[in-house]
Amino acid sequence: MSEQQFADTDVLAVLGVECYAHHGVFDFEKREGQTFVVDLHLGVDTSAAAASDDLQDTVDYGTLVAAVKAAVERDPVDLIETVAQRIADVCLTSDRVEWARVTIHKPDAPIQATFSDVALTITRRRGRRG
């Protein structure tokens, strides 16, 4: 997706959504679980909401965050790529969301080195992946 496509859309950001889930390749990750943190950037035309001052004319980010958190915390999988796609799919269920850029952070990833974060960012547009 080009920067021009992003420039043509308003962006709603919700950052730092903490979730506790049991994703990972290793058995201990699935058994013990760990914290995942989600950042959302959503392409939303906010002009109707600005004109009406009505929640029905925009994305209810409280409801969206609850759905994203539920999606992260259900059904353990091996890869954060799978979780990121699951989150993007949830975001794109709203007709008001034109595209979703999702970052999932796995700050406690089992890496044998000092590091501050592991993060994957994906961007998905309504009707197609990638």
Catalytic residues: 106
Q: pLDDT, tens digit, for every residue of 59-72? A: 999 999 999 999 99
3-125 CATH choice from 3.40.50.1970, 1.10.730.10, 2.40.30.60, 3.30.1130.10: 3.30.1130.10
User: What pTM value is reported for the model?
Assistant: 0.90
Query: How distant, in Å, are the alpha carbons of 32, 56, 101 from that of 87?
Result: 22, 22, 10
Q: pLDDT, tens digit, for every residue of 45-94? A: 999 999 999 999 999 999 999 999 999 999 999 999 999 999 999 999 99
